[in-house]
Amino acid sequence: MTPKQRVVAAIELREPDRVPTGENAVDGHLAEQILGHPTLYNAGWRELEALWEGRRNQIAADYGTTHVELVHALQWDYVRVPVVPPRRPYSRPQMTGPRSWLDEGGRELRFYPEAGNIVEPASRPEMTVDDLPDVDEPFDVDPSELEAIRYVVQQLGDTHFIVGRTPVDGTFPYRETVGIEDFLVRMATDVDFVQRAIDVYVNRSIAYIEAMLDAGCDAVMTTDDYASNHGVMMGPQRFRRFILPGIVRQCQAAHRCGGYFIKHTDGNVWAILDDLVEAGIDAWHGIQPSIGMDLRALKKRYGQRLCFFGGVNCETLIAGTPDDVRREVRYAIEQAAPGGGLVVTCGNVLQPGTKLENYLAGRQAVRHFGNYATRQR
């Protein structure tokens, strides 16, 4: 079977020749360690500096070539590819500190390397429902944002399963608006604001879904998280009232375009898994065995309805040993591979601090334990 055929079989709950594998993203330093050369892919502050220096085209090219090289180097069956900065002039912003600056709208942004190289606003604006975009406002995806996706599809699309990662999810748009705490409060106090924000940004996510599938992706993944390690942040009832309808719309859009829909949300999501399945998702990524999302229990309850992307704890790849990783891979395959429905990945992305020897041990374990013919004997 080709890598693409393996993943399709797993998603459709059929047994391929072996358990497929891949990852959503790789820390830039780890990618350089794997490939043996520098890259601006996922490079954190170096990537921002390159953008401000006018090297946007180099960033886009590195995102394309690095994804392809990682697939070959690690023998992945699937790869997830994000958008890249749109093709336009860039210049250094007004800096307010060593890792903070003002964006074009005057908002202060800060870079947090200790939190995975994320960029967040230093403060949130006061917003009312009238400050949100109009729900019917047209939104067009800039084609240049899809340059890395088109390159990866051109190089690997015939053989490998390509997942597009939408830059906006929209179902829980606290990042685009008032921040997580205020948005959760407004679910109880300002229903009109919450509903309009979700409608606006789900519309934008669907524009990306359609554009990515039109560009040749096999699936799309949205990535808003709804749960902490202890449970669903807004509670199951408000999840169903506000968030679930947007997920249904996203699934329908992906299926209408002939693609699969993969939902990422980590945390303890037992209380909403039935809802996600009923919404029509084809696969779920974000499984954290260490907090009770056990693949044996998940397979027993959802194995006939849902494909699982997961099996390895991110913290094991960082702080564990190669033997620890091998044990997690073996357990995932033994518990969740029968009948199809398993793609072995880590629970999120290969984060800063991931040990290469640990990850390579996991890849070897997938090859050793994941052959269906050998398992059946």
Q: What are residue 261's DSSP bridge partners?
A: 220
* Enclosing domain of residue 268: 3-376
Residue with tokens 């494909």: 307
> What are the Cα distances from residue 29, in Å, to 166, 181, 376?
23, 32, 39
Quick check: 163 and 221 in contact, CB under 8 A?
A: yes
Query: Among candidates 186, 165, 105, which has minimal Cα distance to 348?
Result: 165
Residue with tokens 């999810």: 169
Cβ-proximal residues to 91 (8 Å cutoff; 6+ apart), any chain: 52, 54
Separation CA 220–CA 63 (nearest Å): 17
pLDDT (0 to 100) of residue 375: 61
Cβ-proximal residues to 99 (8 Å cutoff; 6+ apart), any chain: 45, 110, 111, 112, 113
Residue 95 dihedral angles phi and psi, to the nearest 5°: -80, 140
pLDDT (0 to 100) of residue 377: 40
**pLDDT tens string 176-233:** 999 999 999 999 999 999 999 999 999 999 999 999 999 999 999 999 999 999 999 9
Q: How many domains does the chain have?
A: 1
pLDDT (0 to 100) of residue 168: 97
Average per-residue pLDDT for the chain: 96
Separation CA 307–CA 281 (nearest Å): 9
pLDDT (0 to 100) of residue 344: 98
* Parallel, antiparallel or unpaired: strands 100-102 and 95-97: antiparallel
**pLDDT tens string 331-363:** 999 999 999 999 999 999 999 999 999 999 999
Quick check: 76 and 160 in contact, CB under 8 A?
A: yes
pLDDT (0 to 100) of residue 125: 80
pLDDT tens for the chain, residues 1 to 377: 999 999 999 999 999 999 999 999 999 999 999 999 999 999 999 999 999 999 999 999 999 999 999 999 999 999 999 999 999 999 999 999 999 999 988 889 999 887 777 899 988 888 999 999 999 999 999 999 999 999 999 999 999 999 999 999 999 999 999 999 999 999 999 999 999 999 999 999 999 999 999 999 999 999 999 999 999 999 999 999 999 999 999 999 999 999 999 999 999 999 999 999 999 999 999 999 999 999 999 999 999 999 999 999 999 999 999 999 999 999 999 999 999 999 999 999 999 999 999 999 999 999 999 999 886 54
The pTM score is: 0.96
Separation CA 261–CA 299 (nearest Å): 19
Q: What is the CATH number of the domain that holds 276?
A: 3.20.20.210
**Percentage of the chain lying above the pLDDT 70 cut:** 99
